[in-house]
């Protein structure tokens, strides 16, 4: 039903799974309108909408290796987005309760907690840097060639004189390690 959004979805998902940023951009813009429109209705705030959309796509990106196996892309995206929406509603509702509390006590929230609570992406980024630092040397090198230098799997394989499959598997293992590292620190992706 949604297949007409993206032509050759399967091929696109394969490319994203291999870390292709341009392919991910195509997916991003294909789903942006729907997500933005719905989330805006839910949050009624452009800033919050941006945040929820960003978290959704961040989770998609950090789970990109799984996209190669995904049967229904829109179901996959909606599940992640729905979860981010739920987390947002929950956070907003507890924030409102918190404010009522402040109100009654006449004490003032300097807003610092709001800052802390809004730090997710930056913290995730820091944690990922930490996690990459813990990868064995060769794995780290392959990861950085892929992510920092933007090299394709075939290029990395040629440079290091190993098989493309080894590169591919190593990247999947590294991504899995990063997710586990994040999950242990409270960021379930």
Counts of helices then strands in the chain (DSSP H, E): 9, 0
Distance CA 67, CA 16 (A): 7
Regarding 38 and contact with another protein (CB under 8 A), the answer is yes
The beta strands (E) that lie in the chain are given as none
Contact window for another protein (CB under 8 A) among 6-14, 65-73, 107-115, 151-159:
107-115
Count of beta carbons in the 10 Å neighbourhood of residue 169? 12
End-to-end CA distance of the chain: 27
Residues numbered 47-106 forming contacts with another protein, rule: CB under 8 A: 47-48, 50-51, 53-54, 57-58, 61-62, 74-75, 78-79, 81-83, 85-86, 89-90, 92-94, 96-97, 99, 102-103, 106
Q: Which is nearer to another protein, 68 or 128 (CB)?
A: 128
Report yes or no: 156 and 146 within 8 Å, Cβ to Cβ: yes
Report yes or no: 45 and 51 within 8 Å, Cβ to Cβ: no
Which residues contribute to the site for another protein (CB under 8 A)? 2, 21, 24-25, 28-29, 32-38, 41-45, 47-48, 50-51, 53-54, 57-58, 61-62, 74-75, 78-79, 81-83, 85-86, 89-90, 92-94, 96-97, 99, 102-103, 106, 108-112, 114-115, 118-119, 121-122, 124-125, 128-129, 132-133, 144, 147-148, 178
């Amino acid at each position: 039903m949604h297949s007409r959004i993206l032509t050759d979805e399967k091929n696109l998902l394969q490319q994203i799974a291999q870390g292709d940023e341009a392919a991910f951009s195509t997916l991003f813009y294909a789903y942006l309108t729907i997500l933005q429109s719905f989330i805006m209705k839910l949050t009624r705030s452009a800033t919050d909408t941006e945040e929820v959309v960003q978290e959704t796509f961040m989770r998609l990106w950090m789970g990109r290796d799984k996209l190669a196996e995904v049967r229904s892309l829109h179901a996959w995206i909606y599940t992640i987005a729905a979860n981010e929406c739920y987390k947002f509603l929950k956070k907003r509702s507890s924030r409102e309760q918190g404010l009522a509390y402040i109100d009654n006590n006449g004490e003032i929230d300097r807003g610092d907690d709001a800052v802390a609570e809004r730090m997710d992406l930056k913290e995730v980024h820091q944690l990922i840097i930490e996690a990459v630092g813990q990868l064995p040397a060769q794995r780290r090198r392959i990861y950085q060639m892929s992510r920092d230098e933007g090299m394709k799997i075939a290029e990395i394989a040629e440079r290091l004189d190993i098989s493309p499959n080894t590169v591919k598997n190593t990247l999947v293992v590294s991504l899995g390690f990063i997710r586990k590292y994040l999950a242990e620190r409270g960021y379930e992706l």
